[in-house]
Structure 1
């Protein structure tokens, strides 16, 4: 049995598991993501890997990271919350591990997980939209994961949804991530009400018809539907799959479908709207699948 250490690195936490080649978890844990600017994220990964090397005969390390990655070199051109990755080759920074290392964008990993074992298995073309601190996207089109130049394909969170602000401020005010991510939704609620709520608390109140938060949530779903409509009209996928904790809320997909029907009913004849099969494990499962894919291509 081959064993791998697999990381899912996010803006708030680092999740990691020892997995066999089939993505069965043998051991797992997590910790807060280190503060940025000092490169502590690399020390965390190296120290954690060394600890697990002493317990397991690891065949390699696979990482899911929040950024636009050149997968061959591990170089990160753009990153969200984990800014220490920007302008660095993750593979070079982690060379002291002395194991095979493969790195992939987190939303691409979620997409690969759905293609390997999830709700995208039967699809030749589908999109994953992951919702969390920002919005990520993975594009599986015509049988292939699309990465684009500098790994920037699928960075749908940077898509502009509103043109009423000045051009210079659009990236700070009007992107898909700003208008449709969970973190930004909770932050707007806090700024409006002074209440710090979890996603679960927020939607429990929404389902109780709480008017103090209803407008923000309605706007949030509107933004998700508009961004989704743009992607469907651009790529015409068989499915759009939503991931992230918020997609587990009852009626989540129904809220998107209803709005798409209002935007243009024909959209729903093109694309099926669903949620991802995998939640917190999507990044890790997809990172392992990417590791396997690279290993197979190197053998060929």
Structure 2
């Protein structure tokens, strides 16, 4: 079995490991180069630096943000990483002298959960990954849904409200990711407490300690997540929704969303179908595992 370099490119860090089977070896991370730059060279040099640490590998599997045509090895948009717009990845193959396979990060998470995790055996399932933004992945009939324009699962672009006038631009604060991502949750808690900032560990510490201000913000965010899960149910009727990202490792988050969802659906006059809400099995490793599984599948199909 081939030894692969596997990278999960995020907004703040590039996580990496090698894989030759189910295990993840040599895990580490480096900062992601400035996403507001249009110069790809620092990003490509960062990948070269990672590859230099790994020794001999036979391929590079990448999980990345954006609209990605995995079959064509082409990145249409790179999300917040402006240097990854309109990229022909076959050029990277020439530079790195390795076969490269790429896939959208949220779809990698869905691939991991379907192939080895908590979506195994599920006919219709959804992954929602909470971090800097919100990623979404959908599995239907054993396949990850990509959509006609590679846009299926773009949860961060879901709107929570409409501009006052149709001609107004869509402000970022009307996007679901600006209300309910882990980053946004921490920002909302910090604002409510009148402090400069906080992280997830502090947030859950306050919550466990009975902080009423934090509890109020937390439950409001859980309600907003439950609302969108309800909307997803109306379109897809999934058997299971897996919550991912580092925040999902805390049972308070998963139970908070689950409880809000129960209350939300119970408010309907007619019985509304329930769906199973659980944590992802692989948490922060999901994108790495999914990228690896995607590489193997694409290698076999080409």
TM-score, length-scaled by structure 2: 0.91
Shift of 1:63: 0.2
- Give the structure 2 partner of residue 19 of structure 1: 19
CA contact (8 A) 2:67 2:79 kept: no
Q: Name the count of aligned residue pairs.
A: 293
- Give the structure 1 partner of residue 293 of structure 2: 289
Deviations 1:93-151 (A, max 9, x none): 45311111000011100111011111111111100000000000001012211111332
- Give the structure 2 partner of residue 251 of structure 1: 252
Q: In the alignment, which of 45, 48, 51 is matched to residue 47 of structure 2?
A: 45
Instruction: Determine the C-alpha separation between the residues in 2 that align with 1:270 and 1:89.
Output: 43
SS in 2 for 1:280: helix
Query: Structure 1 residues 93, 4: CA separation in 2 closer, same or farther (over 3 Å shift)?
Result: closer
1:5 aligns with 2:5: yes
SS in 2 for 1:63: strand
Instruction: Determine the C-alpha separation between the residues in 1 that align with 2:263 and 2:24.
Output: 43
Instruction: Determine the C-alpha separation between the residues in 1 that align with 2:109 and 2:89.
Output: 19
Deviations 1:223-267 (A, max 9, x none): 111111111111011110000011111232221222222222344
Instruction: Determine the C-alpha separation between the residues in 2 that align with 1:222 and 1:95.
Output: 48
CA contact (8 A) 2:69 2:150 kept: yes
Shift of 1:219: 2.0
CA contact (8 A) 1:50 1:97 kept: no
Instruction: Determine the C-alpha separation between the residues in 2 that align with 1:263 and 1:32.
Output: 40
Shift of 1:6: 0.2
Query: Structure 1 residues 224, 69: CA separation in 2 closer, same or farther (over 3 Å shift)?
Result: same
Instruction: Determine the C-alpha separation between the residues in 1 that align with 2:50 and 2:209.
Output: 44
Deviations 1:21-47 (A, max 9, x none): x23123222111111312221221133
- Give the structure 2 partner of residue 178 of structure 1: 178
Residue correspondence of structure 1 range 1-300 to structure 2 within 5 A: 1-20=1-20, 22-36=21-35, 37=37, 38-39=39-40, 40-52=42-54, 55-56=55-56, 58-163=57-162, 165-167=164-166, 168-192=168-192, 193-265=194-266, 266-267=271-272, 269-298=273-302
Which moved further from structure 2: 69-78 or 223-232?
69-78
CA contact (8 A) 1:104 1:290 kept: yes
SS in 2 for 1:273: strand
SS in 1 for 2:58: strand
Query: Structure 1 residues 209, 15: CA separation in 2 closer, same or farther (over 3 Å shift)?
Result: same
TM-score, length-scaled by structure 1: 0.91
Q: What RMSD in Å do the two structures reach over aligned CA positions?
A: 1.8
Query: Structure 1 residues 119, 112: CA separation in 2 closer, same or farther (over 3 Å shift)?
Result: same
CA contact (8 A) 1:161 1:226 kept: no
CA contact (8 A) 2:8 2:62 kept: yes
CA contact (8 A) 1:239 1:274 kept: yes
CA contact (8 A) 1:69 1:75 kept: yes
SS in 2 for 1:252: helix
SS in 1 for 2:68: strand
Instruction: Determine the C-alpha separation between the residues in 2 that align with 1:69 and 1:148.
Output: 11
SS in 1 for 2:149: helix
Shift of 1:160: 0.8
> Where in structure 2 are there 5+ consecutive unaligned residues?
none
> Where in structure 1 are there 5+ consecutive unaligned residues?
none
